[in-house]
Structure 1
Amino acid sequence: MTSVGLLGSDLPGLRPHFEVEEGDLVEKGQVLFTDRKDPRVAFVSPLAGRVTGISFGARKTLSSCIVTATEDASPDHATSPIEATDHQSIRDVLRSRGMWSAFRTRPFGRIPDADAKTLAIFVNACQASMRAPDPSVVLQGREDLFRLGISHLKQMTEGKVFVCQSPGEALCAQDDRVEVVSFGGTLAAGLSGTHIDCLYPIRAGIEVWTIGYQDVIAIGHLFATGQYLGERFFSVSGGGSAPARIVRSCLGAKISDICSEQESPCALAGDTLTGHPATYLGRFDLQISVGSNVIATTSVERRSHGSGPSALIATRALDNALAPDILPVPLLRALSIGDSETAKRLGCLALVEEDVAALSRVCTSGAPYEALLRLVLNELMAETA
């Protein structure tokens, strides 16, 4: 591992207040910057190393912060478990120790406000695609940390914690506050938008949070050991029939550190359908797709987007790419013309970009639905401000 990147694209609108400067040595879990709007929310380094790049976007929003591993980086220090039993102390730990950014709100797909409350928490423990890491495999030997993470999530909501998984043996025990639900059979089964639409449909005044299963493990690890867990398991797969290989690396890892020299030039962050070219993995990327056909297919699709939308035709692929209760063609039409009220009525508040990424590839119109959805969500969010 040579370097990691904390990317502004994962933190839309965030204006950081940096606690470090370029050239500073940092420890794993050390605060790099805080949210200027609320300094209680901290963002930390996934590894020990040196800060080698800080760049800003428009209006001093974050573009990227790069940390490069060095031989003189400090090793992990001995720590002790963190005792936190009530919701306020748990929140304080998660905010100050870099784990608050693991949550995303629905609606709008933002990091929750520091004092926000949620009516339910959705843990996505589904295998997002056939070649994504298998949660049941990743959890082997880490079951206790996962259970500990779930127990702390229960303290953060008055409602339920929904553990959404692929069909198979339950990944954790159920009780009156934890419900394990299986999803499978369609392209959309692994998406949090599908889980929310089926189990807790978004209405006015409702806010729920989502979090990935590996982040739940990291929360359990933080409270069990007092140490920030910056490592995650990723899959690397090619375009053929060979099985994906699972690698252990850091959040925001540089793709060329994970892939071979032959793989790196044609690697995508994500699966072959919804992935995108990138230098560093995003905060929620758990899969790398490689192969000579991957970039070519994506670039053709993106060129078609630039030539203007074609007719929008209802297909089975569209039906399988969205939650079963959401009508794809009416929703996509509303997004295409920026009709936010109709899109809201059709269920867009349960969705974020990842939920419609496949639609941009399988829809005959060729429209960029991720960007169109974000425009509509931003308009609706501005109305609630």
Structure 2
Amino acid sequence: MSKDIRIRKGLDLKLKGEADKIIVDAPPSSIYAIKPADFHAVVPKLILKEGTAVKAGEPVFYSKYDDKVKFSAPVSGIVSEVLRGAKRRILEVKITTNGSDEAINYGKLNPSDANADQVRSMILESGCWPFIIQRPYSIIANSNDIPKGIFISAYATAPLAGDPEVILAGKLEAFQAGVTALSKLTSGSVHLCVGKESILKNIKDAEVHTIKGPHPAGNVGIQIHKLDPINMGERAWTVGPEDVAIIGNLFLTGEFKPERTIALVGTDVKESDRKYYRTLVGANVNTLVGTVDTNNTRIISGDVLTGVKLSNDQFINFYHNTVTLIPEGNEYAFLGWMPFTRNHVPSNAGTSFSKLLGGKRMVDTNLNGEDRALVVTGEMEEMMPMDIYPLQLIKACMAGNIEQMENLGIYEVAPEDFALIDFTNTSKLEAQEVIRLGLDLMITEVG
């Protein structure tokens, strides 16, 4: 049965630089990359060596700890480089495309007629399994698990994030096929959270929930908490809306085609270039942004709260639908520590006109202060819609106290749920990093 969700806690960061709702094809990238760093806790084992010809949808490497989970090439071409770091750790597998669009065909399969084993096998073999993320821990799902529910958030509230309604334009048939396929893999329901006027309200084989509220209402972890909280020993899966369409397209066509629609946003993007660009997973970021002066502009794969910094020659994150360009915080306001001196930037502080006057604001990377003591102020609780104590959970993670972490709700959270706390807390604490380290400890000690 569907359930409406209303979130009251949180904060909408209204920033300048949003993308027009126009979709165009991005210039093709000559090189694509699969980056193991995009897949937390995955240790890659190479299947193809440098110089090997590869087809789109052909597995390039697999997970050491779950060899059924494969990572496939987004394009056909040649494995041109395996970039390694310290201790020969694989950083990137680069594929130089030959432009032939030659792809492996796994055979069409009607998800309505398929059983769970057939659906699971096809998703695993094609390389679509990495799109399925497990909660707790926010890692790629175990290929043998049966989750109690699968959650899809088609409601974006992160600053300047790509609108799922635009991203899924022309992909509703594939999205429906993906939802139907995923419904075969859970003992419970597929939960789809949408806005009030969503085009996805009539999707079948899912419980459709209407959600409303400020960020982080669009975070799938918040939605899980409101619909079916995770307890110790339970598993739930999450899948991004465009990733559902990629899975659905696999069943409709038999081919792995990881199309990615990227919103190019931010005040350092020319207004005429702020659009949605269709490309493929692993594309080089310079196909969207060109050559950027990274001394003065930061390129972010993702949104400003949770994204990853990129250089001109790097590649867009496997899961991201947004690329953001904002000024580097290398200019400092005179007497910037005084109230009412930085009113052009967004703030939740009562001493800022930006909060009192509202409207869209500019943002840069300046931290506006140094590290400070971690004290009880109540500001973290204002940003956390879950029924947990965020400050106490952060402290438990810092102390490595597993029992306290369990009692305080570590199984329900992911780093992105603490992104607003990163932005608003006066201590300048990197809460997302602390929570990620706490989750990694739980993976090691509890599993």
Q: How does 1:293-308 map to 2 (within 5 A)?
A: 293=328, 300-301=366-367, 304=370, 308=371
Equivalents in 2 of 1:167, 1:57: separation in Å? 47
Is this contact kept in 1: 2:328–2:365, CA < 8 A?
no
Q: Relative to 1, partners in 2 of residues 1:59 and 1:105: Cα closer, same or farther, differing over 3 Å?
A: farther
Quick check: which one's helix share is greater? 1
| 1:224 correspondence with 2:287 | no
Which residue in 1 is equivalent to 2:323?
288
Q: Relative to 1, partners in 2 of residues 1:50 and 1:114: Cα closer, same or farther, differing over 3 Å?
A: same
Q: Relative to 1, partners in 2 of residues 1:30 and 1:78: Cα closer, same or farther, differing over 3 Å?
A: closer
Which residue in 1 is equivalent to 2:158?
129
Equivalents in 2 of 1:42, 1:106: separation in Å? 20
Equivalents in 2 of 1:295, 1:62: separation in Å? 33
Q: How does 1:346-361 map to 2 (within 5 A)?
A: 346-361=408-423
Deviations, residues 157-181 of structure 1 (Å, cap 9, x unaligned): 1101000223323514366x52112
Q: Relative to 1, partners in 2 of residues 1:76 and 1:382: Cα closer, same or farther, differing over 3 Å?
A: closer
The structure with the largest alpha-carbon Rg is 2
Which residue in 2 is equivalent to 1:92?
121
Which residue in 2 is equivalent to 1:113?
142
Which residue in 2 is equivalent to 1:311?
374
Is this contact kept in 2: 1:314–1:329, CA < 8 A?
no
Equivalents in 2 of 1:294, 1:146: separation in Å? 40
| 1:205 correspondence with 2:233 | yes
Equivalents in 1 of 2:235, 2:251: separation in Å? 26
Q: Relative to 1, partners in 2 of residues 1:336 and 1:80: Cα closer, same or farther, differing over 3 Å?
A: closer
The alpha-carbon deviation at position 277 of structure 1 amounts to 1.1
Which residue in 2 is equivalent to 1:366?
428
User: Which of these residues, 280, 290, 293, is aligned with residue 250 of structure 1?
Assistant: 280
| 1:8 correspondence with 2:36 | yes
Which residue in 2 is equivalent to 1:17?
45
Equivalents in 2 of 1:239, 1:280: separation in Å? 21
Q: Relative to 1, partners in 2 of residues 1:352 and 1:80: Cα closer, same or farther, differing over 3 Å?
A: same
The alpha-carbon deviation at position 223 of structure 1 amounts to 0.3
The alpha-carbon deviation at position 359 of structure 1 amounts to 2.2
Question: Which deviates more, 49-58 or 7-16?
Answer: 49-58
User: Which of these residues, 302, 321, 335, is aligned with residue 270 of structure 1?
Assistant: 302
Equivalents in 2 of 1:34, 1:190: separation in Å? 31
| 1:40 correspondence with 2:40 | no
The alpha-carbon deviation at position 321 of structure 1 amounts to 3.7
Deviations, residues 239-281 of structure 1 (Å, cap 9, x unaligned): 2795941111111222112113247753111223333312222
Where in structure 1 are there 5+ consecutive unaligned residues? none
Higher relative contact order (CA 8 A, sep 6+): 2
Q: Relative to 1, partners in 2 of residues 1:174 and 1:229: Cα closer, same or farther, differing over 3 Å?
A: closer
Secondary structure of the 1:344 match is: helix
Secondary structure of the 1:190 match is: coil
Q: Relative to 1, partners in 2 of residues 1:282 and 1:312: Cα closer, same or farther, differing over 3 Å?
A: farther
Cα RMSD, aligned residues only? 2.8
Which residue in 1 is equivalent to 2:440?
378
Q: Relative to 1, partners in 2 of residues 1:295 and 1:63: Cα closer, same or farther, differing over 3 Å?
A: farther
What percent of counterpart residues are identical? 24
Instruction: Give the TM-score normalised by structure 1.
Output: 0.88
Question: Which deviates more, 2-11 or 232-241?
Answer: 232-241
Deviations, residues 257-316 of structure 1 (Å, cap 9, x unaligned): 211324775311122333331222212111111132478777543994xxx553345355
The alpha-carbon deviation at position 57 of structure 1 amounts to 5.3
Question: Which deviates more, 104-113 or 53-62?
Answer: 53-62
The alpha-carbon deviation at position 51 of structure 1 amounts to 1.5
The alpha-carbon deviation at position 60 of structure 1 amounts to 6.1
Equivalents in 2 of 1:322, 1:53: separation in Å? 43
Is this contact kept in 2: 1:32–1:45, CA < 8 A?
yes
